């Protein structure tokens, strides 16, 4: 199989009618009507499309009945030279497997046909010794160490993130990306005042406007304190993870002090900044409340009526296994649920700060099928 990072450039080659006829015969003879996922492959074995269905054979045969150059199924089939498929235990399992395969292979036609019905963006905290805060359009931004969202009011989100950055002193610039795009070969390190002796003679950036205004620590010009900056970055993470509202309270105190000092213009600026940070904090709290409701054991029946269990922790599926039938299997399930769902998170974070797509898939599944929520139970009852 071709490496998943290989991407198509331009229009992929087309198969012949004879080749498509052979694919149709293969599907008719070999594929069963069970839940599963399928992969359409190009001439070199590159995955060009991933799909899923509750009735896999019927879904695949529908491609060969599709007509018209603008028909999605017909367009995909014209570029398919081979079809691979695999069965899953349930329809829910097929959706989950499809999502993970799309994230693994990033197929050409899945990327081209993503429906973007409404604008959205995410809040990203970048990694490294000098973390940054920014708004990004995608859930797989390579610079993001932690990701939160999506948010629909993109313009207001940008204002709120800028207000949070100004309240905490974190940088929200894209200075590394700017240098790379400009083609410059010189590096512009980010560093702090106490490192000045080690940085003598290194290239220094022009003045930072936010630093001049007192709203950024200014690591691009060798200003600020490393320990204080780390504390500010941790404070921002805590707010976005729903653990603290320290920036909100600090802005409230600063606005009150400015008002008591009759610095009304400064108080007005702080008031507007506070309103934006409060808005972001409220949206984050709502996001985490929704996550808390998506921790349970989900029983889903397969086509053979056998039940399969999905252990879901805050919207991400941590395990899939058949329903226990013996006392030993029930005891093992109870231990697994306590360890993987109820106990400390083995992944090191209790929220999916990367890979949010799975959380939204799980949330969408139960929103569109409210009766399925009756098939869930608290982790504490697993194995009962």
Residues 7-60 have pLDDT tens digits of 455 567 899 999 999 999 999 999 999 999 999 999 999 999 999 999 999 999
Task: Look at residue 209 in the predicted model and tell me its pLDDT.
Answer: 82
Q: Do 271 and 197 lie in a common domain?
A: yes
Q: Do 286 and 200 lie in a common domain?
A: yes
CA 195 – CA 226 distance, rounded (Å): 9
Tokens, residue 317: 């599926």
Residue 3 counted as domain residue: no
CA 62 – CA 65 distance, rounded (Å): 5
Task: Look at residue 208 in the predicted model and tell me its pLDDT.
Answer: 75
| Residue range(s) defining the domain that contains residue 302 | 293-381
Task: Look at residue 177 in the predicted model and tell me its pLDDT.
Answer: 46
**Contact (CB, 8 A) for 344 and 139:** no
Q: Do 33 and 152 lie in a common domain?
A: no
Q: Do 282 and 138 lie in a common domain?
A: yes
Task: Look at residue 366 in the predicted model and tell me its pLDDT.
Answer: 94
Q: Do 153 and 206 lie in a common domain?
A: yes
Residue 9 counted as domain residue: no
Nearest to 60 by CA among 24, 11, 8: 24
CA atoms within 13 A on the CB side of 321: 17
Residue 41 counted as domain residue: yes
Residue 195 counted as domain residue: yes
Of 60, 87, 112, the position where a domain reaches its end is 112
**Contact (CB, 8 A) for 121 and 161:** no
Task: Look at residue 346 in the predicted model and tell me its pLDDT.
Answer: 54
CATH number for position 45: 3.40.1440.10
Of 112, 137, 171, the position where a domain reaches its end is 112
Task: Look at residue 24 in the predicted model and tell me its pLDDT.
Answer: 97
- Predicted TM-score (pTM) above 0.75: no
Q: How many domains does the chain have?
A: 3
Q: Do 208 and 304 lie in a common domain?
A: no
Residue 6 counted as domain residue: no
Q: Do 130 and 278 lie in a common domain?
A: yes
Nearest to 61 by CA among 89, 30, 86: 30
Low-confidence ranges of the chain (pLDDT < 50): 1-7, 113-117, 177-182, 185-187, 197, 201-203, 348, 353-354
Task: Look at residue 205 in the predicted model and tell me its pLDDT.
Answer: 52
Residue 4 counted as domain residue: no
Residue 1 counted as domain residue: no
Residue 2 counted as domain residue: no
């Amino acid at each position: 199989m071709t490496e998943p990072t290989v991407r198509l450039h331009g229009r992929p080659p087309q198969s012949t009618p004879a080749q498509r006829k052979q694919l149709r015969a293969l599907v008719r003879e070999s594929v069963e009507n069970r839940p599963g996922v399928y992969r359409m492959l190009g001439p070199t074995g590159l995955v060009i499309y991933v799909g899923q269905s509750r009735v896999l054979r019927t879904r695949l045969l529908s491609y060969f009945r599709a007509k018209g150059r603008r028909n999605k199924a017909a367009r995909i089939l014209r570029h398919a030279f081979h079809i691979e498929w695999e069965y899953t235990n349930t329809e829910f399992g097929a959706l989950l497997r499809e999502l993970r395969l799309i994230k693994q292979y990033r197929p050409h036609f899945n990327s081209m046909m993503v429906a973007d019905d409404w604008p959205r963006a995410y809040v990203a905290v970048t990694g490294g010794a000098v973390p940054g805060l920014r708004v990004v359009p995608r859930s797989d931004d390579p610079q993001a160490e932690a990701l939160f969202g999506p948010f629909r009011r993109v313009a207001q989100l940008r204002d709120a993130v800028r207000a949070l950055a100004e309240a905490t002193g974190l940088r929200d610039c894209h200075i590394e990306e700017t240098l790379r795009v400009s083609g410059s070969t010189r590096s512009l390190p980010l560093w702090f005042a106490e490192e000045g002796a080690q940085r003598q003679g290194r290239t220094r950036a022009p003045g930072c406007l936010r630093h001049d205004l007192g709203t950024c620590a200014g690591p691009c010009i060798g200003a600020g304190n490393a320990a204080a900056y780390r504390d500010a970055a941790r404070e921002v993470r805590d707010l976005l993870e729903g653990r603290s509202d320290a920036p909100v309270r600090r802005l409230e105190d600063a606005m009150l002090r400015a008002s008591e000092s009759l610095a009304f213009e400064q108080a007005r600026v702080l008031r507007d900044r506070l309103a934006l940070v409060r808005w972001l904090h409220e949206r984050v709290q709502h996001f985490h409340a929704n996550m808390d409701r998506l921790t349970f054991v989900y029983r889903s029946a397969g086509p053979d009526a056998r039940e399969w269990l999905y252990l879901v922790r805050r919207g991400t599926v941590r395990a899939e296994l058949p329903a226990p039938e013996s006392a030993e299997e029930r005891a093992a399930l109870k231990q697994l649920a306590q360890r993987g769902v109820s106990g400390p998170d083995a992944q090191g974070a209790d929220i999916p700060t990367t890979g949010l797509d799975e959380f939204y898939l799980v949330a969408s599944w139960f929103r569109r099928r409210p009766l399925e929520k009756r098939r869930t139970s608290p982790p504490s009852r697993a194995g009962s």
